[in-house]
Amino acid sequence: MGPVYHWNEFADRDALASALASTVAGRLAQAISQRGNALLAVSGGTTPARFFAALSETDIAWDRVTVALVDERFVPQSSPRSNAALVKENLLQGRAAAAHFVPLFRSGETPEEAAADSDEALRRLGLPFDVLMLGMGADGHTASLFPDAQGLERLLDPSAPRIVMPVYAESAGEPRLTLTLAEIVRARFVGLHIEGAEKRSVFERIITAGERKPIRAVIDALREPIELFWAP
């Protein structure tokens, strides 16, 4: 087997954000040139804000870009834990304010109902995603594919028919909505953005020891090596 990832290392987090923004913008511009529009899926958490800010100022046809979430906590956008709020405050600004946005959380619905409606909404976009950016937790989760998630085998099924599913995991806190592994690995470009010594150690341990964590399941299911972006 060949390498399961390409390691892209940067001296600091600003340099990483700039390089990653350039890479993603280039991929989106290429998709727009080839197909007239581009689909971008991004992850939340604390890591991507600097990258989002850099990406928002790239000079591409943002009115032809649709942004969606890889996963979401089942909370409204008024919550500080909302990934949609993070994206709107950091990415959908400046030039990128012209992009279209498809949230996962839906007020007044159960997680199951929201997952079904989001599944339908994403299908109408004409998937697969041109660019899909993942993060990783210290427990080896990615998206909202948690090691202790109920029904994890369904979430990680590479032939699963669903695009979006609800997630219940004690370690996640509130319920979540997530893209399934099957849809994640269909993306034309998949990147992994991690920062800090702890995340690097976790990733290297999972790869070298073959730990069956969700991030490893995703990497193993990809058709091409994942592009990993890291800074201390």
Residues of the chain below pLDDT 70: 1-3
- Six token digits for residue 100: 């279209």
Per-residue pLDDT, 209:
87
- Amino acid at position 50, single letter: R
- Phi/psi for 212 (5° steps) reads -85, 65
Side by side, the strands of the sheet bearing 5-9 are 5-9, 226-231, 190-195, 131-134, 38-42, 65-69, 100-102
pLDDT digits (tens, 9 = 90+) for 88-128: 999 999 999 999 999 999 999 999 999 999 999 999 999 99
| Best CA proximity match to 200, nearest among 125, 130, 138 | 138
Per-residue pLDDT, 3:
60
36 CB contacts (<8 Å, ≥6 apart)? 64
Per-residue pLDDT, 2:
53
Per-residue pLDDT, 50:
98
| Best CA proximity match to 105, nearest among 190, 177, 47 | 177
Residue 66 forms beta bridges with which residues? Answer: 39, 100
Q: Report the topology of domain 5-231.
A: Rossmann fold (3.40.50)
Is this prediction's pTM over 0.85? yes
| Rounded Cα gap, residues 155 and 15, in angstroms | 34
Beta strands at 100-102 and 131-134: parallel, antiparallel or unpaired:
unpaired
- Residues in the chain, overall count: 232
C-beta atoms surrounding 58 within 10 Å:
18
